Structure 1
Amino acid sequence: MAARMTGAVSPTQGGFELPEPSHTDADAVARAFVVDPDVGLSEEQVILRREAAGTNELRRARKQSIWRRVGLLLTEPLTLLLLAAVAVSAVAWALEGAHGAPIDAIVILAIIILNAVLSLVQESRAEKAVEALSAMTRSRSTVLRGGAQVGLPSADLVPGDILLLAEGDQVGADGRLIRANGLQLAEASLTGESVAVDKQTGTLPGDAPLPLGERSNMVFKGTAVTRGTGRAIVTATGMSTEMGAIATMLEHAGTDTTPLQQEVNRLGRTLGRIVVAIAVVVVLTISLLQGISTPSEFVAVLLLGVSLAVAAVPEGLPAVLSVVLALGVQRMAKRNAVVKKLSSVETLGSASVICTDKTGTLTTNQMTIERIVTASGTAEVTGIGYEPIGRVTQGGADLRPGALAQEVSEVLLVGSLANDAQLAERDGAWQIVGDPTEAAFLVAARKLPAAVQRSEGYVRVGEVPFTSERKMMSVAVRAEDGALTICTKGAPDVLLGHCTRVQVGEGTVPLDDAGRAGILAEVDALSAAALRTLGVAYRRSARAEDSGSTGAVPFDDADEHDLVYVGMVGMIDPPRPEARPAIAEAHAAGIRVIMITGDHPATAARIAADLGVVTDGGAVSGASLDAMDEERLRDTVRRTSVFARVAPEHKLRIVDALQADGLIVAMTGDGVNDAPALTSADIGIAMGITGTEVTKEAADMILADDDFATIVHAVREGRVIFDNIRKFLRYLLYSNMGEVLTVFFGIVLAGVLGLTGAADGEIVLPLLATQILWINLVTDSGPALAMGVDPEIDDVMARRPRLLTDHAVDAGMWAGIVVTGLVIALVTLATMDVFLPAGLIPGGADDLDTARTAGFTTLVLAALITAFNARSTTASAARGLFSNPLLWGTILLAVALQIAVVYLPPLQTAFGTSPLRGDHWAVCVGMASVVLWVEEVRKAWVRGAHRRRARDVAAPAPHRTKAPIG
């Protein structure tokens, strides 16, 4: 794989064999592919080669069938547990005589089906959104076939096609250049390098495979032409391209379960063991204490065991999880984030590290002039990107008329004339065609109106294009008065060799050695600030044959002499303005941000410092990572937050090292080179605008606006969702534990509590099986769902990210579940004791059915009250008391249903209830409220402990004085 990624590729499509094309002469490549570069392929050749090589498309992952998806959903541990409960309920119903319908089994089965439908529908919607975003990356190409230029979809390219390239084109396949005229390509999607790469046609020396960024005579699928023209022989299509190589890596990359899926599976296994234990203990306890003498008693005990098992399992959990995650996905979509899988939302909320690319993710991917240095000083240019809003300033104030202003205007004028880019506003957005470096001059010139006005009226009459060997370009322009001027821009150190004078104000002075040394010192200063430098110069032509000419003039590189050096610009791909506050918020939330880029280390370090990723320190290069073993790499990753000049395999190693430390890693990116790391990370986040098709396919989530700040919103949303999952888990398990403990202690303490009055030999139960199932139905459905969409009560971004070892139901929550369940059980049994004639509390005069109905009602009310307790482990239930109308609605509905069960005769018969008087209700409400007051006292103590701890940390050390002598 490493060899494939570094370029050891031989085209084998359609039977063609040759060494690495970059090390092969262009004519030999043409002969190998049996094509005339001036004619192209014939239609017959195209048909045969397409049959042999296939279409020029990346192989998509095979979609799972609907039945496969359903099967995966039904084999999750918690779902299997519910299916077991269905089976046991059906068996109990059959043993009891199969009277009526098996309501318990039907209800649980309906919940399982609802969960599966919700999951399938939501994931289907996400897939459609992803397909729509992927369509944005489909391109067209221009080829030479049968001697004629033909425009066609890039998918129709075949090996041997002659690909014609021009500014703005997206390269449709890998190819060997045979012609290049000032050709530059943006290869950031493959290499991460933000600066356009110069291309040439010569054969590269040696035979060892070179990194992609150094194969200057090759073009690659998915990259873009920023300047010049070219012609290339297609050497690889589809999965044989460099982009296809990365796609192949993704096919072999495993997909791990998300932290939420792991947690739900773990909870399912835990509850499964608890359910078996509960059923066994209850049946044995009843058998030992009261005995089982008839088949009907055995059925009653079995049904009670099944009911308790169902009560102990929050069977609404899968459905509530799906609903909560689906609603979270909808909220994310409104914030320009498309989530492909429901569980990915929560995973992002659990992220402890965000590994992000630089170009186009943290930066605008729009080269911007930041400084202009001339003989009279330095000017700053405000504003970022291609939108020409900003000013040219000196020391923070507007540039005043004078020598510096004249020189700055000349720099921008010459840079704009020696320019092949175009800047235009379309549909309210500023866009460029051509090299981003050249476009930066056009944008900066618009920020100085004088420069724009001076550029009007010039006509280009000659050009010497830029080449990587010359490192400069020149144009000859004629003004309206007929005067001819040569405008040149290029690398400052090269440009100085063609200059003899330097402009100062409106005049010029000779350029001596001291002046050259001063300019080169300025170049070093700008480079140290991670700015890319570009110098400009000009010369008024004095050739007689040029005078009065209106057409093209003889012009070549021999005319690039005796130039007047004007100045240079320092430019950079600027950070996104919203990225810095987003990173600061991530840091405040305990999330580490790591920049991983293919750009230059100095540039990466500068951007990282500007954004607050790091406060000091440089970047570690990919070459340094190659020299490290795994242990040293892990230590470096722990201490370093900026990595530059990295390859795809480096990104994978970094992500793996972070995960080896137990961290939950999110990886953002837009280029093809990011895709393997996105797949390996716990959650991959692709850019929707600049992201490639492969990246979007590999990602778990896609940012439609490419805004890093959206990630922070997603983190908050994910944390709120996980908080709400814990809320309804607390609520469900609080009430379920109360039911289990009520039955258990009611059986063990039946004699003490006065639970008597049944016929001799008949088993006496504190709650009937149907009552337990009713409580489960009323409390585990609507209120649990309302808890799942509860607004943020505690500041979720004020806490550290949870680790893989942090469980949704941890030891602290289990302790709270047992304590709260015990309180619910005690108040329920105490209510029954109040109304029973015999027991610990004297004065009762009601029968067993009435006392059981009162206890039954108290348990329902106490379970509903715990919903307010469960919203926070520290905040009072009064905080945001009315912020969740859905919760109030479901609780009021549950109370109304309980009243119906108590008073409606058909329901009384079904659930074994008796009507209650007003004093009964007063006792039930008072007893149920004890659950609230106990929890309020605990929370107040916890808040006080937190305040005392914070005060102790903030308090200064006590001042010590010496004891007086004597």
Structure 2
Amino acid sequence: MGEMANSAVEFYPKRGGGGAEANHAGDFGVTLEELRSLMELRGAEALQKIQDSFGDVERLCQRLKSSTSDGERNVLLALQDVTLIILEIAAIISLGLSFYQPPGHESEGCGNGSGGTEDEGEAEAGWIEGAAILLSVICVVLVTAFNDWSKEKQFRGLQSRIELEQRFAVVRNGNVIQIPVAEMVVGDMAQVKYGDLLPADGVLIQGNDLKIDESSLTGESDHVRKSVEKDPMLLSGTHVMEGSGRMLVTAVGVNSQTGIIFTLLGAGEGEEEKKEKKGRSKKQDGAVAMEMQPLKSAEGGEVEEREKKKANVPKKEKSVLQGKLTKLAVQIGKAGLVMSAITVIILVLYFVIETFVVEGRSWLPECTPIYVQYFVKFFIIGVTVLVVAVPEGLPLAVTISLAYSVKKMMKDNNLVRHLDACETMGNATAICSDKTGTLTTNRMTVVQSYINDQHFREIPDPSQIHHNTLEMIVNAISINCAYTSKIMPPDVEGGLPKQVGNKTECGLLGFLLDLKRDYAPVREHIPEEKLYKVYTFNSVRKSMSTVVQMPDGSFRLYSKGASEILLKKCSSILGANGETRNFKPRDRDEMVKKVIEPMACEGLRTICIAYRDLPCNPEPDWDNEAEIVTDLTCIAVVGIEDPVRPEVPEAICKCQRAGITVRMVTGDNINTARAIAANTYTKILKFKMTVFCFIIF
């Protein structure tokens, strides 16, 4: 467990050897070895180690330059608003200069400058304006920081829920359980199947026709076949496109291939951003050299310091509305700055002309303090003009309206973290939605079946089915369903049993339980290791087939899949007395018309279950799937119900009122999709009629 515990510490690349590592240790005040030894401990020992080495968790955070809260970062982000920066500067200058008042007496030798004269009461209250501006800035910063903190807190809670809902099947203590992906550790035995996104690196222990899409790592679109003998390495971030199997987890988190790549990409992007910033700063310095000569001296250290600060505190992206309002505020502020500068220049020129030209006085040394105080008074007037021109209420109004809008949308179950996303979604005109699990509950249940030439519109009694056919159904479903799919007892007494794994397969397993048969003894008798060949389900096959070896050495193929696909491969069917009879194209067309289409029109997903016996001598060519999965014998056809979610009709109705067209995308039978859409539309009409009647009465 020690190796698993410190895997995150050992990952980071050691650039430049021990020197780089020592430099990082000096930066953070804690060495890699100390963290490694700490992460090897558990429980009370770890707590004692923290107290002995660091004092407490807070001091450890300080050494790692971390913080237990995000309040400081949010405040710094809020303070980066350009309008607030202008207000802060104006407020500080106004507040500071309000305490400097020109003398009340007049000097005959210095003259009596009339510019900027104010009474005593106005002079004493001059500090109020600067203090009021600072108070307004503080209010804006606090409201913005609190709003961002609350949104991020809600988003982190939602993100943690999503991470907990991402589960993976592993074998622990001999039992297959579903655990959160974040809890996977090195040494776990994970079960992989079609459709999985591998969360960790591992070595394949047992596989059935396993094909992996490694395009996310290699860029190659071709699927890679994995086998224990040839290529057993499975990598995180890749998709299982076909097959199933078990793998031994060997690397998780940042030690996995995906973690390594993302970390290297992050480091590379950081270097590129620094280079781009340096290039931009040099170009900007060259372009404005004539206008900003005094700033050239700050090109070296200050630019790097600003870049470091920007890297440490990422700048918050603004929405379109916020960007326009900020641009407007800056433009108004610039106009106010120009007007205030003109005001100061006019007052200074007026004072100079009146004193030194009209009255003909000269600049006497003893008059210098008096003249300087007059100039300070003129500057205060200019700052006052600037403060009046800058719309200090604009940022506060935007912040308050944003906070109100976000809270209002939260009541409608819309968590908006960035307003720009909401503005973009306001232009949406169509929503394409998946059917299974999105519009429907994704809880499959067999409600109809066609067995022994009888169409049962409810679950039949086992006595109504021939015993040979019943045993064939039990074996076909138990063996030809992924062993990760199972029915678990309900969490709450009286509740529905839990469906673990593929929901369609869980519906078939539930059908066996309804027939008072159990699939577990069959799987114990024929464990997954004894399956001779597996043709796993994929979107092209739309079927799954499993081959097992019989006691006499021959082989039996069990197959299940979409009825319109599998029935075309059937040449016989189990009749009323369990005997095998020919199944001609005419019989198939009649069955489709009388059984398949009525089931599909009721919104049921139809699954055909079939089998085939194969000789052992000569052994079939298992790679020739077309020759293997053919000439089948149909055992049964079942209709599986996936009810529409009760909240879907109302949600679709709201989308339609907003001018949004909702389209359903599914790989199911067209009649099934049409029936579900019609059922949903009927509920929408009922919902509209209910609302209409409510408005009338």
> TM-score scaled by structure 2?
0.50
> TM-score scaled by structure 1?
0.38
